[in-house]
């Protein structure tokens, strides 16, 4: 049974309970009024019987002070009215019902007005039958009034239930049905379906937002995966094509000289090494993503690390100006090998994508977010539209994928993964024509702050 059906059944059951409760109250109220009337009739009948039998002589009430009581005597089969109700003087009990009615107990019988009943007590006194009664019309009117009130109350409750049900359906049930339909649509392959926006500050809105966020994240992950597979295939296709081409040349006997064979083997080795590098980088990224590569923390002297990286860079490009600036002694607790790898990637990236005339600066300082290592160049800079995707795997600013100037396209992604494995971050700031700054931040254990405070 659906939630909507269960709520409808529950609402119907509540209405039935309310109606049953009103019915019980009506019956109880009617019985209370009849009991009160019976008590009055019994008292009057006893007094009348006592007077008629001559047992006592209580003060009789004035003849006109009978109110709504009916007093009559049946003599020789005929009903003689002694006192009639003030509101309806012509009202009298039905003589046939009097003959059949039980004696000495309250009973309801018909009257001369077929629409009105009378509650009476009949007592036989010698050859006479004393009839004391009162119309039940006031009680009937009270019960009808109670029934009208109950009907209005039930209608109001039903209207309230309908309003609340509509509100619950709009705010809760319908959004859940929409989410279910979206889930089925996604299962059927319509991946662009999303849950419609629900009224704010409701559980349905929270559920819809969470589901849409999950779907967007899943779609983004799938898109990245497809892009990753396409990029990996593209990266491996060229070296594989080279390998197949040289093997075909050898198979067809077109490598006729020793120099040609040597050149072919050199090219094959170079392309095999490129594929090996790509596979190793992919394996490293996968392990970093899953935390499969343990981080072995140790105290790292940042000045020494930057000096080592700068020395290696000067060997690669001796004509480039490379400076190191660490104003105070800075140490950080990190994996020395992985931290060196991350900084080397940032420096290699600058060496590869900027001319040798561009100055390269390696700096380190302690700020409120930890130890910041900055690699700055005054090269051509990076266009703003590339900055958000610069750390994506296989992403290159050079859309032509010129491998002569670039690596596997995985270096910056590896640097970011290493930083995140240490609880840190990597970001970039760049201005076209003025250069770029890559900042690697590693959390500080606090010793650098104490050392800075204690320095002169």
Q: Is the pLDDT of residue 278 over 70?
A: yes
Nearest-angstrom CA–CA distance, 398 and 353: 10
Considering 167-181, 265-279, 331-345, the range whose residues carry the highest mean pLDDT is 331-345
Can you tell me the mean pLDDT for 305-320? Answer: 94
Confidence of residue 359 (pLDDT cuts 50, 70, 90): very high
pTM listed for this prediction: 0.51
Can you tell me the mean pLDDT for 163-176? Answer: 78
298, 333 contact by CB (below 8 A): yes
275, 240 contact by CB (below 8 A): yes
pLDDT of residue 54: 52
Q: Is the pLDDT of residue 131 over 70?
A: yes
Q: Is the pLDDT of residue 99 over 60?
A: yes
What are residue 142's phi and psi, to 5 degrees?
-65, -40
pLDDT of residue 314: 94
pLDDT of residue 37: 87
Q: Is the pLDDT of residue 65 over 70?
A: no
Can you tell me the mean pLDDT for 96-113? Answer: 90
pLDDT of residue 56: 39
- Two structure tokens written together for 146: 């109670």
pLDDT of residue 432: 92
Q: Is the pLDDT of residue 324 over 50?
A: yes
Q: Is the pLDDT of residue 67 over 60?
A: yes
pLDDT of residue 52: 57
Nearest-angstrom CA–CA distance, 376 and 394: 22
Can you tell me the mean pLDDT for 135-140? Answer: 88
Residue 298, helix vs strand vs coil: strand
DSSP-derived secondary structure for 153-169: HHHHHHHHHHHHHHHHI
pLDDT of residue 347: 95
**Model confidence over 78-90: pLDDT tens digits?**
888 888 888 888 8
Q: Is the pLDDT of residue 313 over 70?
A: yes
Nearest-angstrom CA–CA distance, 58 and 172: 75
Q: For residues 32 and 206, which has the higher predicted lDDT (pLDDT)?
A: 32
DSSP run (H or E) holding 419: helix 411-421
């Amino acid at each position: 049974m659906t939630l909507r059906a269960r709520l409808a059944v529950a609402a119907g059951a509540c209405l039935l309970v309310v109606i049953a409760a009103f019915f019980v109250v009506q019956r109880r109220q009617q019985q209370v009024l009849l009991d009160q009337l019976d008590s009055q009739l019994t008292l009057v009948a006893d007094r009348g019987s006592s007077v008629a039998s001559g047992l006592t002589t209580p003060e009789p009430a004035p003849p006109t002070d009978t109110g709504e009581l009916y007093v009559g005597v049946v003599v020789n089969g005929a009903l003689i009215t002694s006192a009639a109700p003030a509101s309806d003087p012509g009202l009298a009990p039905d003589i046939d019902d009097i003959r059949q009615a039980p004696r000495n107990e309250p009973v309801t019988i018909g009257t001369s007005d077929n629409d009105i009943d009378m509650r009476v007590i009949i007592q036989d006194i010698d050859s006479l039958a004393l009839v004391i009664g009162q119309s039940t019309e006031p009680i009937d009117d009270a019960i009808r009034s109670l029934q009208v009130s109950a009907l209005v109350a039930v209608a109001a409750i039903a209207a309230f239930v309908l309003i609340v049900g509509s509100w619950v359906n709009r705010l809760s049930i319908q959004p859940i049905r929409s989410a279910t339909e979206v889930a089925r649509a996604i299962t059927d392959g319509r991946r662009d379906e999303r849950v419609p926006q629900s009224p704010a500050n409701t559980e349905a809105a929270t559920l819809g937002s969470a589901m849409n966020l999950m779907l967007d994240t899943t779609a983004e992950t799938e898109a990245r995966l497809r892009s990753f597979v396409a990029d990996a295939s593209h990266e491996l296709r060229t070296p594989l094509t080279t390998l197949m081409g040289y093997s075909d040349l050898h198979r067809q006997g077109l490598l006729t000289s020793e120099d040609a064979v040597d050149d072919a083997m050199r090219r094959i080795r170079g392309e095999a090494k490129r594929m090996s590098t790509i596979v190793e980088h992919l394996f490293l990224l996968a392990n970093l993503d899953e935390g499969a590569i343990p981080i072995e923390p140790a105290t790292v002297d940042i000045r020494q690390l930057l000096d080592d990286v700068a020395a290696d860079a000067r060997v690669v490009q001796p004509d480039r100006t490379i400076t190191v600036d660490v104003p105070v002694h800075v140490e950080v607790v990190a994996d020395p090998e992985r931290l060196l790898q991350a900084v080397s990637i940032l420096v290699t990236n600058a060496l590869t994508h900027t001319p040798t005339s561009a100055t390269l600066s390696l700096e380190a300082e302690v700020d409120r977010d930890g130890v910041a290592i900055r690699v700055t160049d005054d090269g051509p800079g990076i266009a703003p539209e590339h900055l958000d995707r610069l750390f994506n795997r296989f992403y290159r600013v050079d859309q032509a994928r010129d491998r002569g100037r670039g690596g596997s396209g995985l270096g910056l992604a590896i640097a970011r993964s290493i930083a995140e494995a240490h609880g840190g971050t990597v970001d970039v700031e760049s201005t076209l024509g003025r250069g770029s700054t890559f900042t690697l931040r590693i959390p500080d254990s606090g010793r650098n702050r104490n050392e800075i405070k204690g320095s002169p």
